[in-house]
Amino acid sequence: MKDSKSPHNWIAKHIAALPKSGIRDFFELVSSMDGVISLGIGEPDFVTPWHIREATIYALNTGYTSYTSNLGDLRLRKEVSKYAAANFGITYNPEDECIITVGVSEGLDLLLRAVLNPGDEVLYHEPCYVSYAPGIRMTHAVPIPVQTYEKYDFVLQVEHLEEKVTPRSKVLLLNYPNNPTGAGLTLEDKRKLAEFAIKHDLLVISDEIYEELNYIPRSHSIASLPGMHERCVVLNGFSKAYAMTGYRIAYALGNAAIIDAMMKIHQYSMLCASSIAQAAAIEALKHGASQREEMRQEYEQRRNLIVKRFNQMGLNCFMPRGAFYVFPRISASGMSSHEFATRLLHEKKVAVVPGTAFGSCGEGFVRCSYATSMQDIEIALQRIGEFIGHC
């Protein structure tokens, strides 16, 4: 007879082996303290624009509360397809090349599960969003991080990719504009990465959740470049551009075979995204442009201010091209990222996230979100200045 298992032993080995998000411990610590000003929040500080909330209420009032098709309400898919053509220069058929997901997080999970076999390798850049390596591991594939550097504006370099690519490489995963660095891709950057993907026959996953928060001249999605339409899946959503994080609503655009494979997983696990969130998303795409742009401008102005102040303090700060994060280098303080963040929290009650939460090459940096009120940003910057002065 088998020995009975302890609760711990019930856990699947590959899940037990997953590290918890580096942000988790820090979150617990910050939550236990009062009076903290947090630059650690990865979501907009704006409330969802009223017209979108009103459309949500209307959806409830009119009883739009049943399942939608697995791929998502066709009206929303049509709006997404139209929007992507106009804004990202990519054409995907709303009927079979678009799926509505519960956040880009679900979209990425579906996609990784849909395309990866055990042992396949996924190339991606670090620093990066916290879910990439765990998401890849959960499919029994192999995460292959490729370091990005401040001197290259945290843009993934083809020569560094060439060092890591192998015959088992299957996917190139990109997130620009980037969380946590704020890096962005120029058209030339996109061309080089596209060429590399074609040369090595890689599927490109482009997580473009911050695409609407762009502070450099916009260029079309990497998926719009020659030879990329079929080998690219674009992930985007409503959380950042329309301040709709709690709605959990996003989409994936890609060729029909891949979208169909994603849909298989989605239908057995999620069935469909929330109908009322889908109604809200339709409203956002139809009438959200002006408030979206207002929020983008506000982020851009905060970025200008915060970067200038960090540089004045002597903490060298890369000028972000997008998203709402700055990633100042703090090594001049003589502290590690973790020590800096922990001491800053205890001594000055300002929360920033250690760069190492986004990959080991984030050592020497911290991530500060400027998706918080200018008032709080000013106070936080003043306290950080005092903290640096005392070190």
Partner 1 sequence: MQKLQKDILNLLRRNARISNQEIADRLDSKVEKIDATIKKMEEQGLILGYTAIVAEEAEQDVVRAIIEVQIQPERDSGFDNLARKLAKFPEVVAAHLVSGRYDLRLEVLGKSLQEIASFVSDKLASQDGVKSTATYFLLKKYKEAGLELAKEETHERLKVTP
For binding to partner 1 (CB under 8 A), which residues are involved? Answer: 21, 23, 26-27, 30-31, 36, 38, 40-43, 45, 47, 129-131, 179, 301-302, 304-305, 308-309, 351, 353, 357, 374
DSSP 215-276: -S-----GGGSTTTTTTEEEEEESTTTTT-GGG--EEEE--HHHHHHHHHHHHHHT-S--HH
- Smallest Cα–Cα separation from 256: which of 91, 108, 122, 101? 91
**Residue 311 exposed, middle or buried by CB count within 10 Å (0-12, 13-18, 19+):** middle
For residue 379, how many other CB atoms are within 10 A of its CB? 15
Residue 98 and residue 72 in contact, taking contact as beta carbons nearer than 8 Å: yes
Task: Determine the Cα–Cα distance for residues 215 and 40; give it in Å rounded to an integer.
Answer: 21
Residue 131 and residue 105 in contact, taking contact as beta carbons nearer than 8 Å: yes
Please identify, using beta-carbon distances, which residue of 68 and 179 lies nearer to partner 1.
179
Please report how close the Cβ of residue 238 comes to partner 1 at its closest, in angstroms.
Answer: 16
Please report how close the Cβ of residue 11 comes to partner 1 at its closest, in angstroms.
Answer: 22
Please identify, using beta-carbon distances, which residue of 94 and 322 lies nearer to partner 1.
322
Query: 3-class SS at 308?
Result: helix
Please report how close the Cβ of residue 158 comes to partner 1 at its closest, in angstroms.
Answer: 28
Please identify, using beta-carbon distances, which residue of 287 and 308 lies nearer to partner 1.
308
Please report how close the Cβ of residue 36 comes to partner 1 at its closest, in angstroms.
Answer: 7
Please identify, using beta-carbon distances, which residue of 42 and 72 lies nearer to partner 1.
42
Please identify, using beta-carbon distances, which residue of 172 and 353 lies nearer to partner 1.
353
